[in-house]
Amino acid sequence: MSSTTTLDIAPFLSQKSQLWKACGIRGLFPLENIPGMISLLAGRPNPSTFPFESITMKLKPALAGMPTPSRDDDPLNLTLDGDILSEALQYGGTAGLARFIEWLEEFQTHVHKRVRDDTWSVTVGSGSQDLMFKACEALVHEGDSVLVETPVYPGTLGFLAALPCSLIEVHADGQGLNPVNLESILANWETDHPGKRAPKFLYTIPSGSNPTGASIPEHRKVAVLQLARKYNLLVLEDDAYAFLYYGPAGQQARSYFALESEVNAERGRVVRFDSFSKVFSSGMRLGYMTAPPRLAAVVNMITSNTNLQPATLTQVMAYTLLSRWGPAGFLEHCAAVADVYRIRRDAFERVARKHLAGLAEWTTPVAGMFLYIKLLVHADGRAADSHALVTQKAVARGVLAVPGSAFMPGGSATPFVRVSFSLIEEAGAEEACRRLRDVILEARAEAEAEAR
Ligand SMILES: Cc1ncc(COP(=O)(O)O)c(C=O)c1O
């Protein structure tokens, strides 16, 4: 371990990142922790004026029987009152609630087997997307190029489009990001992009990707990390679906964050984003970033001057439950959640196979909530753009899904459509696939008539 180096992230930060300064009030908050200090600092409202006496969270029985013994009499109820409630209803730390951050840092050590050292820290955000945007804001400098796994989550495309960078597509397949494609872009960079600075980072969704459903195997992650080091890129690992892994037990690939020391004898090149949206609640708006502290400091400065902090109430709710469950209990909960999606995947695939055989194909996902379906409009296998088909013909027949073009940074044509099986019941799924079948058959008939 002694030969492990730490990447200096400073050269990756944009010039603009230096314009963010600590907020004149929030920057002084740490001084309040000095023993004996009397604080007249913040314009915090007096919590005695808040109308809430207590908040009780009643857990669902099926998910409540977690292993950690409870100090409450009633294991199904978690009540927030007194000082904890006052804290939950008050302004709080910019990077998140200190003991929630502490819990998450311990959790990251547990899950990713990374020792706690000064090469990384956890920052809580209002969902992981909040942090992804701020991290990109901190990194992207005018004229930069950013490598984007393609197809990709349109939420990321949305904020990257507003930053002064070019998006370079790195094509993924049924096994996720393909390192061969990444290498080809990087090896030919100077020839293909004369005079342009080499890309600064790669954005990738390694587990149960939105939209492809693909999960990249560990050997590909190793190759990606080696390329990241060779070509000096950061890896932004958006692992929003990591906890929804339902593939064969023990076969989930380790994260980029877990692997970087082993593969490159180096730390600090991976910036990881986790989300509570898929396993606790998407409305609580909680996510966390695990990043080199220097980058986290810029993200925190952006937060302190924009939305101030992630919501304290939902952090206290999450922390109260997590500290009762412990890391093992939380992971057990995640496994139970993932199982729900596995059952739904199986049910959806059953009806999809029944109605779409020969008309569509897809790779079975092992995580997440999406099937990325290739529509076989031409019987001879030629690709046809799905856009009009999905946005017009399918809508007319009463089935809604997302056309593949929505996931292409350049909006290019694609024969794919993303369907989500997270909510649909089997009868609805069956009818949706039947309608999709009619749409494809109609398009096939039209294509054949045109060819005649
Ligand atoms: C790949 C991906 N990343 C990030 C997000 C946003 O997550 P959060 O709710 O934590 O902001 C989503 C939401 O669907 C997503 O699909």
User: How buried is residue 225: exposed, middle or buried, by Cβ count under 10 Å (0-12/13-18/19+)?
Assistant: buried
In short, whether 287's Cβ falls inside 6 Å of ligand 1 is yes
Residues 6+ apart with CB under 8 A from 162: none
In short, whether 207's Cβ falls inside 6 Å of ligand 1 is no
Residues 6+ apart with CB under 8 A from 391: 403
Q: What confidence score (pLDDT) does residue 6 get?
A: 97
Strands (E), 241-358: 266-267, 270-275, 287-291
In short, whether 157's Cβ falls inside 6 Å of ligand 1 is no
Taken in order of first residue, the domains within the chain and their CATH numbers are 80-330 (3.40.640.10), 338-451 (3.90.1150.10)
In short, whether 210's Cβ falls inside 6 Å of ligand 1 is yes
Residue 155 alpha carbon to ligand 1 centre in Å? 8
Residue 289 alpha carbon to ligand 1 centre in Å? 13
In short, whether 238's Cβ falls inside 6 Å of ligand 1 is yes
Write down the residue that tokens 């080199």 correspond to.
292
Exposure of 178 in the CB half-sphere (CA atoms within 13 A):
13
Residue 196 alpha carbon to ligand 1 centre in Å? 31
Residue 309 alpha carbon to ligand 1 centre in Å? 18
Q: What confidence score (pLDDT) does residue 65 get?
A: 53
User: Radius of gyration of the chain from Cα atoms?
Assistant: 24
In short, whether 281's Cβ falls inside 6 Å of ligand 1 is no
In short, whether 273's Cβ falls inside 6 Å of ligand 1 is no
Q: What b/e sequence results for 137-154 when a residue is b if at least 16 CB atoms lie within 10 Å of its CB, and e otherwise? A: bbbbbeebbbbbbbbbbb
Indicate which residue's Cα is closest to atom 6 of ligand 1. Answer: 129
Residue 161 alpha carbon to ligand 1 centre in Å? 17
In short, whether 154's Cβ falls inside 6 Å of ligand 1 is no
Q: What confidence score (pLDDT) does residue 1 get?
A: 46
Torsion 80-84-85-88 (CA) sign: negative
Q: Which pLDDT tens digits describe the chain residue by residue (452 residues)?
A: 458 999 999 999 999 999 999 888 888 888 998 999 999 987 899 999 999 999 999 998 866 555 444 445 577 899 999 999 999 999 999 999 999 999 999 999 999 999 999 999 999 999 999 999 999 999 999 999 999 999 999 999 999 999 999 999 999 999 999 999 999 999 999 999 999 999 999 999 999 999 999 999 999 999 999 999 999 999 999 999 999 999 998 899 999 999 999 999 999 999 999 999 999 999 999 999 999 999 999 999 999 999 999 999 999 999 999 999 999 999 999 999 999 999 999 999 999 999 999 999 999 999 999 999 999 999 887 888 999 999 999 999 999 999 999 999 999 999 999 999 999 999 999 999 999 999 999 999 998 888 88
Give the number of the atom of ligand 1 that is nearest the alpha carbon of residue 286: 10
In short, whether 129's Cβ falls inside 6 Å of ligand 1 is yes
Q: What confidence score (pLDDT) does residue 63 get?
A: 65
Best of 277, 286, 288, 369 to mutate for ligand 1, by most ligand atoms within 8 A of CB?
A: 277
Residue 371 near residue 347 (C-beta atoms within 8 A)? no
Residue 213 alpha carbon to ligand 1 centre in Å? 14
Residue 170 alpha carbon to ligand 1 centre in Å? 20
In short, whether 153's Cβ falls inside 6 Å of ligand 1 is yes
In short, whether 261's Cβ falls inside 6 Å of ligand 1 is no
Helix-strand-coil percent breakdown of the chain, rounded to 5? 45, 15, 40
In short, whether 151's Cβ falls inside 6 Å of ligand 1 is no
In short, whether 325's Cβ falls inside 6 Å of ligand 1 is no
User: 98-112 vs 312-356: helix axis angle to the nearest 10?
Assistant: 40
Give the number of the atom of ligand 1 that is nearest the alpha carbon of residue 282: 9
Indicate which residue's Cα is closest to atom 2 of ligand 1. Answer: 240
| First-residue to last-residue Cα distance in the chain | 68
Residue 240 alpha carbon to ligand 1 centre in Å? 6
